[in-house]
Amino acid sequence: MKRRGRGIACMWYPIGFTVAANPSAATVKVNEDGTATLLTGTVETGQGSLTVLGQIAAEALGIATEDVHVVSADTDTTPMDTGAIASRTTYVTGNAVRLAAENACAILFEVAAPMLGVRADQLEARDRKIQVKGFPQRHLPIGHVAHHAQVVKGQPPIGSASWNPPTVAMDPETGQGKPFNTYVYATQIAEVDVDDETGEVEVVRIAAAHDCGTAINPMLVEGQIQGGIAMGIGFALQEEILFDAAGRQLNPNLTNYIVPTSLDMPEIEVDIVENYDPTGPFGAKGVGEPTSVPTAAAIANAIYDAVGVRVTALPATAEKVLAAIKEKRARQQNKPQSLPL
Amino acid sequence: MTNLTLNVNGEIRSASVPPETTLLDLLRDYFSLTGAKRGCDVGDCGACTVIVDGKPVNACLMLAGQAHGRAVLTIEGLATRERLHPIQTAFEERAALQCGFCGPGVILSAKALLERNPNPTVRDIRDAISGNLCRCTGYTKMIEAIQEAARALRGETRERAVPVPVEGARP
């Protein structure tokens, strides 16, 4: 019969590298029509990082995301970036973008201050305007200021910046240090049905609570979590690279290296646990890799909850789960009655 | 050589190809329609899905000659210059694709489904796209997007002629 079980798994995960430097750089220029151009060396692989970087630049400049034209990943021309790895783009590249945009904005404030009759530190960038804090009716369109900066003041509003997460190398004596600048945390709960006659495991539901600092784009955060869970389910139940004695892969294609299909996916509930990390751009950290960290552990715990067996080598295929169930039954039958339980 | 004539995205096209040419090779190499992707090339991944006479098929498993005289729809035939197809709009608005390599196949599987079943259940949708492997999304947002497109195609939601960029920024 099918037995239902629930399992929970928690994780923490570091954002960016440790030991090695992993800087990102960015350039932001504000154009005379009030739009901005962002140059970044990082690459978009579908996770939506260029959207998020555009949002960060837009937020820092007080303009709309669609006003930001992002130019990325041209190693001839774009500023250096360590790469779309280590779940670091929003955090590390995002900080570089924010600083670059702030540098461009500082030029706009300097140029706009005498135009508005105030000091530069009394200005803010909002709603596509440079305006006086507390007196938003005293404002100039951002494009107007950018044009003035360029053709009258000879100070084009271009900002460049780089950022490298500060870490402290670990002391060889004590092991103490600060290997990463920030961490994210998550908990996932899996609900599974295990058929105790066949060993087959079906994941019915996954609830995933993830901390990523500020969720700059909640829809993309959800997408990362859902995708990570799919990979975690494959890792837990289906995916295994098999080799022969000579080291040749026995299943080098999708016929027998089985990845989850739409029919293998459970209902997923995503809970974004928002908080503010003061070291991240607008409080953001990251979300990529952490999403698939706790899934397999939660499923393995749910299998134990359902049928009382521990699968200690993944994937928990039906064969392995059934063998463990049979072994457990045999152990129980052979147990001498005189021994204490 | 096999001489064949078929309807591709509403246009009559002809070609003379070696008999072993697959429909995928015909589309990509002879007609330069590269929307159908060559993934596994053995019918496992669904990235090459196109619609032939209303049915979704793996173009890598069909010989070009078998498409002679039939109507083939590829992803290039879906959008017009003015607007995306409602399925594409729904996928865009819900960020249902990430890397996008599986996208043309998933969208065409969804189109074939919605043409024969305008009001599918989630189970129907999962069945319809089960031959399209996706490594990025976990399928969740695709299923939501197909439900949304189904509502739009049934006329239950107002379609936007020009999709607006998705904005997730919080004030």
pLDDT at A341: 52
Element housing B23 (H / E): helix B23-25
pLDDT at B170: 44
For the segment A92-144, what is each residue's pLDDT rounded down to a tens digit?
999 999 999 999 999 999 999 999 999 999 999 999 999 999 999 999 999 99
- Find chain A residues with C-beta within 8 A of B169's C-beta: 55, 58-59, 65, 216-217
In the predicted model, is pLDDT for residue A244 greater than 60? yes
Whether A289 is catalytic: yes
> DSSP label at A125?
E
For the segment B37-90, what is each residue's pLDDT rounded down to a tens digit?
999 999 999 999 999 999 999 999 999 999 999 999 999 999 999 999 999 999
| Homologous superfamily assigned to B2-77 | Beta-grasp domain (3.10.20.30)
Q: How far is A241 from chain B (nearest CA, A)?
A: 16
List the domain boundaries for chain A.
2-13+181-333, 24-163
The interface pTM score, or ipTM, of the predicted complex is: 0.92
Q: How far is B110 from chain A (nearest CA, A)?
A: 13
Architecture of B86-153 per CATH?
Orthogonal Bundle (1.10)
Residue partners of A206: CB distance under 8 A and separation at least 6: A188, A189, A190, A191, A229, A233, A266, A267, A268, A269, A295, A298
For the segment A17-55, what is each residue's pLDDT rounded down to a tens digit?
887 899 999 999 999 999 999 999 999 999 999 999 999
**Cβ of A219 and B137 within 8 Å?**
no
Peptide bond into A315 cis (omega under 30): yes
**Cβ of B45 and A47 within 8 Å?**
no
CATH 3.40.50.2020 for domain A24-163, yes or no, is: no
Considering CB atoms only, which of A47, A216, A260 is closest to B169? Answer: A216
**Cβ of B169 and A58 within 8 Å?**
yes
The one catalytic residue in A59, A66, A240, A289 is A289
From the options 3.30.365.10, 1.10.10.10, 3.40.640.10, 3.90.1310.10, give the CATH code of A2-13+181-333.
3.30.365.10
**CA-CA distance, B129 to B134, in Å (whole number)?**
10
Sign of CA dihedral B147, B148, B149, B152: positive
Q: How far is A77 from chain B (nearest CA, A)?
A: 24
For the segment B124-135, what is each residue's pLDDT rounded down to a tens digit?
999 999 999 999
**CA-CA distance, A334 to A329, in Å (whole number)?**
9
- Find chain A residues with C-beta within 8 A of B165's C-beta: 65-66
A220 touches chain B (CB under 8 A): yes
